[in-house]
Structure 1
């Protein structure tokens, strides 16, 4: 069995802390809740796209590369959808 990678474990801990910070930033339900959700989700998706691009460039497994390509495609569509909503709903 492989030994846990210290760097990975550290980043996983930091990501859990970041998830909590993102949830705290969502704030209370008010008329700007949806805007905050979209802004944070767009940032989250942009990070996922960066990771997926890295996987395409560095993975040795075709399954991982294929999944990464799907992640990029899906998350780009979702970003575009949310950007459209922000423009329509908040004149951004």
Structure 2
């Protein structure tokens, strides 16, 4: 079986940075909204595009959080196995 190496700390650092970047991007994104009359067809289209941007940012944030959780699980399993085998981390 080939070995799998994952730098847990590095992966979590990168994923946490991605989550923070997503939070910052979401704050900027939601602080602005197209300022057009709601009755205009183009305004409705721009509002939909804006909402889609929010959904995309939310998806990136959720994916990064889920990935970080999985990295933590892998780290915990690695640490548990290392303890059982008496190895160093």
- TM (norm. structure 1) is 0.50
Query: 52, 62, 65: which one pairs with 2:15?
Result: 52
* 2:60 is aligned with 1:64: yes
Q: Quick check: 67-76 or 54-63, which moved more?
A: 54-63
Runs of 4+ more than 2 Å apart: none
**Of Structure 1 and Structure 2, which has the larger fraction of its residues in helix?**
1
Per-residue CA distance 1:15-61 (angstroms, 9 max, x = gap): xxxxxxxxxxxxxxxxxxxxxx57x52x2x22111111111111231
In 2, Cα distance between equivalents of 1:91 and 1:51: 27
Corresponding pairs, count: 55
- TM (norm. structure 2) is 0.51
In 1, Cα distance between equivalents of 2:68 and 2:9: 9
Q: Which has the larger radius of gyration?
A: 2
Higher relative contact order (CA 8 A, sep 6+): 2
Unaligned runs of 5+ in 2: 26-56
